[in-house]
Amino acid sequence: MPIIVNLDVMMAKRKMSLNELSEKVGLTLANLSILKTGKAKAIRFSTLEAICKVLDCQPADILEYKEN
């Protein structure tokens, strides 16, 4: 898929672990892992909003479009 999820980059910048993010966002570890590994087919605005709020970033910091 040409949409790349840079969640791991943002997590590293904020020095936040997956467990911590999972607790703060209210998402299960399994779902967060799906998102982090790029296996997700879709993301809800509410999820994106929660991640952006916790990581203090913009949606563009997490999602990137790269042509194949």
Partner 1 sequence: MQTKTILSVSKFLALLGGIWYSILCGSQILTLVASFINSDWARRTYEVNLDIFNIREHNIGYYVYAMCLIIATSALKAIIWYGVFGLLLKLKLQTPFSMEVEKKLERIAFLLLGVWLVSGVFWKIYIYYLAKETAIQLPANSSGDEYFFMALIVYIISQIFKRGIEIQEENQLTV
User: Cβ 40 to partner 1, closest distance in Å?
Assistant: 5
Residue type, 9: V
35 binds partner 1 (CB under 8 A): yes
CB of 15 to partner 1, least distance (A): 22
Cα angle value 35/55/20 (rounded, 5°)? 70
Question: Interface residues for partner 1 in 45-64 (CB under 8 A)?
Answer: 47
Exposed, middle or buried by CB within 10 Å (0-12, 13-18, 19+), for 1? exposed
Contacting positions for partner 1 (CB under 8 A):
27, 31-32, 34-35, 39-44, 47
